[in-house]
Chain A
Amino acid sequence: MSAVGASGGRPLLAVRNLTKLFGSFAACNGIDLDIQPGEIHALLGENGAGKSTLVKMLFGVLAPTSGEILWKGESVRIPSPGAARRLGIGMVFQHFSLFEALTVAENIALSLSPGISLSKVAEEASRLSHLYGLPLDPKAHVADLSVGERQRIEIVRALLQNPELIILDEPTSVLTPQEADRLFETLAKLKAEGRSVLYISHRLEEVQRICDRATVLRHGKVTGACDPRKETPASLARMMVGSDVASVSAAGTNTKGDVLLEARHLSVPARTPFAVTLKNVCLKVRGGEVLAIAGVAGNGQGELFDALSGEYPVADASAVSVRGRAVGNLGITARRLMGAGFVPEERHGHAAVPGLPLSDNLVLARNQSDRRTFLSGGILGIIRRAVVHIASRRISETMDVRKSGEDPAAGSLSGGNLQKYIVGRELDRQPAVLIVNQPTWGVDAGAASRIRQALVDLAKSGSAVLVISQDLDEIFEVATEIAVISEGRLSDAYPARELTREKIGLLMGGMYGKTEGEEAAHAH
């Protein structure tokens, strides 16, 4: 299906039959796309659909294997980001490229040609930032800024080049709802000036709210071009996923068990200059409960996971309890032996070693908890491969892990399938306590719904589940209780049905009301 030109006239940017091959794998396969002047155009698709590859070709980071890019009707080659900028294309990446130790103005000056004085850069940057409603202090150090503010630097940096097309890659994935609203106002301003925006997202609501047209990608191909306002979230999701997505049936168990996981006044100093200090975190999760911890990335989620999992134990034993036993000073193995299971955020190189086969990655997490089953030979510790293989097959079958071959390297699985395996690896033990950080981050919708259902089912069977997530949709799907983490502090937990998105947004910004007397940290 090719893109339908919604309005007449010459498109600002047109892409014809663009293909990018990595070896024999087609990341983009014959893509057609038109972007009109003054429109906000959404590029929708799941992770791995080819969105990033496409925009990298548009921004000169990757060279297309075949196909044509037309800029204002003329065929162009974009060999480098510099060339893209000269044409009038600006880009704001999902992962920022900022030096934390430098100031805002210094970071902006770095991307400009040398010889422009810093004060001039600062002046121009603050003029632009006011014009577009992106308040920024040019003298502030990047390390002190929130993720939303950092994104503004990137946007201002792109605007300084006066682009006609701005590409934004998943811009709201790191923002609070309120910060996202401000971003949308800025985008509306850019549109009013006649600039075009290519908006990459997998969040359907946003796309419906701000975008004029949408192009949907799946497996590197265009599967639809539409006016998102005329579609329903369900019909857009169908275009993205190719089938209907099962909805998660909520937890909703009323019988509350004992407190199985507890943190009492857990404080952890930052290990590195740019890490977050955990301040007096208290939480309780009972059997049958799913406590979800919401929060914008980089507010101490990783540090909280490290302290709860025991990868970095704390001095105070009573700061963390598993099933009533103080384990704060014990390592991850001791906590596993107490019946706890853990799923970290990063799949490659933390939850799994990508170069090792799946069965080895099963031994990774369960080498002590299943010592009697998986090992023999006493202190020699001979790994019983046959037994491990059987368990690995069982996990793959239960979680519907799609893989090539019997026991492939973990790194060869797609994100969703590897995550299903990593979650399944813990569920297979029937843990009394499960702590999961970003359970469905970068996972396709089908796998995400399966993983969420598994978490809910585990809680229903009487276990305590703690989910740390940035995804509010996910949180409302699985949680029975919700707390919010902001700058290393955790809010009180509220029953999920009493909370609204707006309330969570306020908590994310640091407005705790009764628990903390501080002023809102996110106000500008």
Chain B
Amino acid sequence: MRIELEKRANPSTFYSILSPFLALGLTVIAGGIMFALLGKSPGSALYSFFIEPLLDVWSLHEIAIKAAPLILIGVGLSVCYRSNNWNIGAEGQFIAGAIAGSIVPVVFHDWHSSLVLPLMLIFGMIGGALYAAVPAFLKAHMNTNEILTSLMLVYIAQLFLDWLVRGPWRSPDAYNFPVTRDFAPEAILPELVSSGRANLGFAFAIIAAIALWVMMRYTLKGFEITVLGQSERAGRFAGFSSKRMIWFSMLLSGALAGLAGISEVSGTIGKLQPIISPGYGFTAIIVAFLGRLNPLGIIAAGLFLALTYVGGEAVQLTLTVSDKVTRVFQGLLLFFVLSCDTLIQYKIRLVFSRLSRGNEGAL
């Protein structure tokens, strides 16, 4: 018996909707097996991983805090991926945005004004966009593979941040801890509602997602992105420039990642420190694909992945398992999402006939 993949005449709408849910189901099953192998009861482990965080106002706020950067970065990446530009370096653009946005509160900490916060956000976006401009330039003019360049720039950004907070930007009152001074109150992103910590970053994420959804669905720009992503040659025939699209998509996703970075630093952490992200820029890749590269889908996917962060912390505390469980879940999820997507284009057929052997290519 063998398994054959047979291409469908048309992509299946049914499976394109079902595929993410199928992937979720398979992830939960595989996760349950993993917990069982670790000697924990799968039922209660999965309950505290996926259900418990939803029952508490505090943890709902945590989910919103973690979903905000995932959604912001994810919708930017979806534009990149739809236009066939593979920006893998959102983590670096996130850090670059956080650094650029922190210039005002760290370097000009004596300046108190209501302009501080808007300037920080704008600088954050510019920082992220400039950092994404490097792989964009290399791809558009040197024909370099953006996957490699954008990924490598992540490590540069991480080490640069590390150097900054240990070196020139280290706070004088932090007893040699590698952190900058605490941001002044007017440099802190306000909370969304009074019941908890969730800040305006979540609102930015929702606004960005809706704006990009409108762009992709209704405007010529969105059409241009779709066309160039599916066929560069047809895009050229339509009068669109794939070079300009490299710039547009990379700068847009870089700016959104930068906004996510400064929002995280300003809203959640309140200062710069060596590690400011638990891998949001990479997890957002999963978010983008789980959300079908559709901005509205990405909102849902971002919330779900945020749940895996919060749930992972919960099981770490209650069941004393490694915090790597979160990463395993995220990895499983991406694996199953991409696998299940095969069903959209292909039918699976089991063939029971014997395959007789023949030597290929002989004379």
Contacts and interface: CB of A to CB of B under 8 A. Distances in A.
Contacts of A85: 362-363
A130 B218 CA distance: 64
B339 interface: no
B237 A344 contact: yes
Contact of B238 (A346, A365, A375): A365
A350 B234 contact: yes
A353 B219 contact: no
B231 A77 contact: no
A382 to B, nearest CB: 5
Nearest to B11: A355
Contacts of A82: 358-362
Interface stretch (A37-45, A183-191, A356-364): A356-364
A409 B10 contact: yes
A83 B362 CA distance: 8
A377 B11 CA distance: 32
B219 A356 contact: no
Interface stretch (B157-165, B221-229, B275-283): B221-229
B235 to A, nearest CB: 8
Interface stretch (A165-173, A234-242, A328-336, A511-519): A328-336
A389 to B, nearest CB: 14
A368 B220 CA distance: 10
Highest count of chain B CB atoms <10 Å: which of A342, A346, A352, A382: A382
A81 B361 contact: yes
Contacts of B9: 23, 25, 412
A253 interface: no
A395 to B, nearest CB: 17
Interface size range on A against B: 35 or more
B221 A381 contact: yes
A367 B239 CA distance: 9
Contacts of B143: none
Interface residue range, chain B: 20 to 34
A186 B4 CA distance: 41
Contact of B8 (A23, A311, A350): A23
A353 B230 contact: yes
Interface in B345-362: 347, 355-362
A326 interface: no
A325 interface: no
Given A79-B358, A353-B227, A412-B9, A112 B236 contact: no
Interface in A300-323: 309, 311
Contacts of A360: 223, 226-227
A332 B234 contact: no
B233 interface: yes
Contacts of A353: 226-227, 230-231, 234
A79 B363 contact: no
B363 A112 contact: yes
Nearest to B221: A381
A103 interface: no
Interface of B: 6, 8-11, 218-221, 223, 226-227, 230-231, 233-234, 236-239, 347, 355-363
Given A79-B355, A412-B10, 7 more contacts: A79-B356, A81-B361, A161-B363, A360-B223, A364-B234, A367-B238, A383-B223
- Top 6 closest pairs, chain A to chain B, by CB: A381-B220, A333-B239, A349-B231, A83-B358, A80-B358, A79-B358
14 contacts: A23-B9, A79-B355, A82-B360, A86-B362, A309-B237, A311-B237, A332-B236, A349-B230, A349-B233, A356-B230, A364-B227, A364-B237, A383-B220, A412-B10
